[in-house]
Amino acid sequence: MIQFLVESLLLSMAAMGLAALLVSVALPFYNKLTGMQPTVTILFSPLLMGFMLLLPVVTGLLGGLYPAFYLSKFKAVEMFKPATKQDRSGLVSVRSGLVIFQFAVSIVLMLGSFVVYRQLDFAKHQRVGLNREHVLVIENVRHLNTPSAREAFRQQVAKLPEVVYASHTTDLPSLGYFGGSYEPEQGSGSRPLVPLLDIGSYMTDVAFAPTLGIDMVAGRNFRSDTGADSASVILNEAAVKAIGWQQPIGKWLRYSDDEGIRLQVVGVMHDFNEGSVRAMIEPMALLHESSQLYTTFDSYMALRLRPGTEKQAIEKITALWTAAVPGVPFGYDFLDATFARLYRTETKTGAVLGVLTGLALFIGCLGLFALAAFTAESRTKEIGIRKVLGASVVSIVTLLSKDFLKLVLIAIVIASPIAYYAMNRWLQGFAYKISIEWWYFALAGLLAVSIALLTVSFQSIRAALMNPVKSLRSE
């Protein structure tokens, strides 16, 4: 027993030394993957040093207990006898249990990766009410100090052949908005309206809606002339619903911070996510910049570009910016990129899950390969007899492989409800989310079965092709 335990401890300690070396090599890739910045010196902190000393001891003891107690109980004379079917089944059952556990973990991670990827793809590419693609965002527009300077620059940019629309705005979806409280005028309706409503707003111009691809559900967009809509407001569907209006066009809102300011609803725009899909769509409004209702520090220009002209457009706009605001760097971004940054945590989670899935599958395949080798060796005589009696290579491979397929199927049955529960809980953090489809489980199961069959096929085919004369005479 001591011999087995010491051997297991030595292997575990050697593995820890190799692991520490691999950590130091893989640390830059880990930092890039997670966005964290630990250094190799963290391995020498008192807490981690204690953990590194304790872990191989615990692992070595756990790994060595079974062979130590199981093999040491045999009498010496029995060790030289062929293993009985009962002895083999004891070893196989333990190894089979470990293989099931390893593949169950792999399948849970695989399903988690599927769901995280699908949710991120949904969040980044949904187009409900807003078209984020090919929209260039110019930052630091506040350096164009006067409204006339901003308008002159906007008109210069709008004339470029690469630019479809150009809009000046205080804020943009994914980059924030300013808030205010508004009091809907009750009118003569019998149904009471909400007395006061907080609405997030953008103060912008006539080109804002077409630049971002925002459709009008009712009413109209702002007019082109500068001051005609200084007392106008465009609400989204969520704001109209929250207020309780059945026919919102022509209704009035009173700005609560200044009771003298009244705004008339001229249009209703389609709902869109101004931020992450974690939150419900909130009441939003567009105010014309001529209203001067609110003063913000932020100032942007949003440009809808013709697809494929981004590089040329940036070069030309940079030259115009340098001429208009010398000494101020030209800062720009793309709207779809600003939305993508809202999901940094989920993106890192998906990348880490992908790596863990690969590692878990690799470890599971190692266990399955070892079990296949053990089974093939213990059934060498049986395979030889079957071949002498006329069994084909395909039938023998099928015979050996179906037992391992059962293990993977058991792992799928165990892993599926666990993965469903875990990913359903994760998706609860999103107001707008995908549904977990049945084919996720079918695809994960198919991949697991395919990987398992590839793993055991080498040993199965090798055993099936062995010369039966050689296997039967070697006793």
Q: Determine the Cα–Cα distance for residues 136 and 163; give it in Å rounded to an integer.
A: 10
pLDDT value at residue 284: 94
Integer angstrom CA distances of residue 2 from 11, 247, 320, 416: 14, 85, 80, 41
**Amino acid of residue 365:** C
pLDDT value at residue 189: 56
Q: Residue range 250-254: average pLDDT? A: 90
pLDDT value at residue 283: 94
Q: Residue range 352-366: average pLDDT? A: 87
Residue in the block written with tokens 């070069």: 315
Q: Which residues contact 22 (CB under 8 A, 6 or more apart)?
A: none
Q: Residue range 18-34: average pLDDT? A: 85
Buried b / exposed e along 53-83 (16+ C-beta atoms within 10 A):
eeebeebbeebbeebbeeeeeeeeeeeeeee
The least confident of 29-33, 79-83, 321-325, 405-409 is: 79-83
pLDDT value at residue 413: 93
pLDDT value at residue 275: 84
Q: Would you state the structure tokens that stand for residue 290, as one six-digit string?
A: 């001529």
Of 283, 307, 160, 302, the closest CA to residue 233 belongs to: 283
80 vs 460, higher pLDDT: 460
Tell me the per-residue pLDDT of 114-164, one tens digit each, with 9 for 90 and over.
Answer: 999 899 888 877 766 788 899 999 998 988 888 888 889 999 999 999 999
Q: Determine the Cα–Cα distance for residues 132 and 124; give it in Å rounded to an integer.
A: 9
Q: Residue range 445-453: average pLDDT? A: 89
268 forms beta bridges with 218, 235
**What is the share, in percent, of the chain residues with pLDDT greater than 70?**
91
Say what the pTM is.
0.75
**Amino acid of residue 221:** N
pLDDT value at residue 80: 57
Tell me the per-residue pLDDT of 203-238, one tens digit each, with 9 for 90 and over.
Answer: 999 999 999 999 999 999 998 766 788 899 999 999
pLDDT value at residue 335: 92
pLDDT value at residue 32: 82
In the predicted structure, residue 262 carries a pLDDT above the cut 60? yes
pLDDT value at residue 71: 66
Q: Residue range 304-332: average pLDDT? A: 92
Residue in the block written with tokens 């290579």: 393
Diameter of the chain measured on Cα atoms: 105
pLDDT value at residue 140: 86
Integer angstrom CA distances of residue 241 from 74, 248, 321, 417, 433: 78, 10, 42, 38, 22
In the predicted structure, residue 109 carries a pLDDT above the cut 80? yes
Tell me the per-residue pLDDT of 34-71, one tens digit each, with 9 for 90 and over.
Answer: 777 777 777 778 888 888 889 988 888 888 887 777 76
User: Residue 454: which region, alpha, beta or left (left: phi > 0; alpha: psi -120 to 50)?
Assistant: alpha
CB 151 within 8 A of CB 168: yes
In the predicted structure, residue 357 carries a pLDDT above the cut 60? yes
pLDDT value at residue 422: 93
pLDDT value at residue 257: 66
Q: Determine the Cα–Cα distance for residues 465 and 392; give it in Å rounded to an integer.
A: 10
pLDDT value at residue 92: 58
- Fill in the DSSP letter of residue 165: E
458 C-beta neighbours (distance < 10 Å), count: 13
pLDDT value at residue 187: 62
Q: Residue range 177-183: average pLDDT? A: 87
**Average pLDDT score, the chain:** 85
342 vs 71, higher pLDDT: 342
In the predicted structure, residue 13 carries a pLDDT above the cut 70? yes
User: Residue 271: which region, alpha, beta or left (left: phi > 0; alpha: psi -120 to 50)?
Assistant: beta
Please report, to the nearest 10 degrees, the dihedral formed by the alpha carbons of residues 29, 31, 33, 34 taken in order.
160
Tell me the pairing of strands 262-269 and 163-169. unpaired
Grade residue 191 by pLDDT with cuts at 50, 70 and 90. low
